[in-house]
Amino acid sequence: MIPNQWYPILPAEEVRNDKPTGVRRMGQELVLWRDLDGNLVCQGARCPHKGANLADGRMKGNAVECPYHGFRYGPDGGCKAIPSLGAGARIPGSLRVPVHPVREAHGLVWLWWGEERAGLPDIQAAPEVADNPKVHSTLHWTRPVHYTRYIESLLEFYHITYVHRDHWFNYIDYLFLYGTPRKLGLDGKERYLSATKIANHHLETEGQTLRYSFDHQDEADPKNTTHYVITFTFPCQVHVRTEQFEATSWLVPVDDGHTEHILRWYEYPAFKPVLRSEKLRRILPWMSLYMEKWIQDVQDVRIMERQEPKISEGGVSKFTPVDELNAKYLAMRSRLIQEAAESKAAKETAAEPLPAAEEPGPEPAANHPAPANGRRTAKPAANGKGLSAVRASRAR
């Protein structure tokens, strides 16, 4: 997992003010709820009393109540009531749950996963997602695969000819997306299966966004081409656009063995002129989401579950030139993990207390002037503090 990033964790509408919502993300159990002013609250879900999950509890005033013995925790994480000790009992300040920074944006709840900072950066979302005016629907589900493999599968589309074929649903795709009106769509399957080549691929990098365009085409009939633009934004947002459809996936780590796929499907441009009502325009994206959840995505997961190794990183694959986006993703991912580890190590070193006294060295102290701030220079990763940096750099 890449630290110091905003991760979307679920659609904002799923967090209610009348009951807590539990999710597992970034290897942690979290509880989300809304305070009496409607503000979003995200906390560690483990009750510090005896470890029950607060998401199984209920709302009580401006607090979440543990389902086991009724301890209540306010928006600041502090315990506000221990019913078994009676009203007015002294509650230790240490009885609290961790509070995590969260924000609402683009219809989702975003969790800051990383070091504490006075001012957190803005949420990263490419304009294809942030400024997209199209009507859309959103659905999410969990799969038993590592997020690197999941992201990889969405950064290329030349697997589709092999993975997404021969199911009855794929025939709908053949008919409507690939078939020609001249042949009433019946040539769709043949056209779909013969487009196996990637041509005209082009990759651009802009901050944390990678924009990749290419043509998926039939070598023997270059007119049989689908033009794709894939826009990936770290840590986990994949936006895909073709002439026929448009979708955004967020592949969010649940833990080292599972990923949450939050999928947004936009209205089909072809149907917009005939479907006037926004509600009606939402129906086809909604159907596409269910088809993805139950059919297309299942076809991908069948492959990904059996991939080795389970976690992708630089050097584990023999990429070809058309895997340019995959390679760039992995390289930038390891760079961001490394930068986060260095930032953490630097903060820990800065917070290190000064040594009480030092043994005099063999040479006069004047030969070893102290730095201007009175601190010793940061030691490299081999020392004790560096270990946490190394550990962080291994966080996957």
Residues that bind ligand FES (CB under 6 A): 47, 49-50, 52, 66, 68-69, 71
- Amino acid occupying residue 286: W
- Smallest distance, ligand FES to C-beta of residue 330, A: 42
Q: Cis bond leading into 369, ω under 30°?
A: no
- Smallest distance, ligand FES to C-beta of residue 88, A: 18
- Smallest distance, Fe ion to C-beta of residue 154, A: 7
Size of interface with Fe ion, in residues (CB under 5 A): 1
- Closer by beta carbon to ligand FES, 32 or else 66: 66
- Closer by beta carbon to ligand FES, 67 or else 107: 67
- Closer by beta carbon to ligand FES, 48 or else 107: 48
- How many CA atoms lie within 13 Å of 307's alpha carbon, on the beta-carbon side? 23
- Binds 16, which of ligand FES, Fe ion, none (CB < 5 to 8 A, cut-off by type)? none
- Binds 49, which of Fe ion, ligand FES, none (CB < 5 to 8 A, cut-off by type)? ligand FES
Q: Assess contact for 46 and 288: CB atoms under 8 A.
A: no
Alpha-helical runs (H) found in the chain: 127-130, 147-154, 160-163, 168-173, 188-194, 278-291, 297-304, 324-351, 384-394
Q: How many residues does the chain have?
A: 396
φ and ψ of 194, to 5 deg: -90, -10
- Closer by beta carbon to ligand FES, 49 or else 227: 49
- Closer by beta carbon to ligand FES, 70 or else 101: 70
- Amino acid occupying residue 384: G
- Smallest distance, ligand FES to C-beta of residue 62, A: 18
Q: Assess contact for 235 and 259: CB atoms under 8 A.
A: no
In sequence order, what are the residues at sequence separation of 6 or more whose Cβ sits closer than 8 angstroms to the Cβ of residue 315? none
Query: What is the CB neighbour count within 10 angstroms for residue 45?
Result: 26
Q: Assess contact for 287 and 150: CB atoms under 8 A.
A: no
- Strand pairing category for 28-34 and 40-44: antiparallel
The contact mask relative to Fe ion for 273-312 (x = CB under 5 A, - = no) is ---------------------------x------------
CA 204 to chain centre: 21
- Smallest distance, ligand FES to C-beta of residue 36, A: 22
- Closer by beta carbon to ligand FES, 23 or else 54: 54
- Binds 300, which of Fe ion, ligand FES, none (CB < 5 to 8 A, cut-off by type)? Fe ion
Give the binding site for Fe ion (CB under 5 A). 300
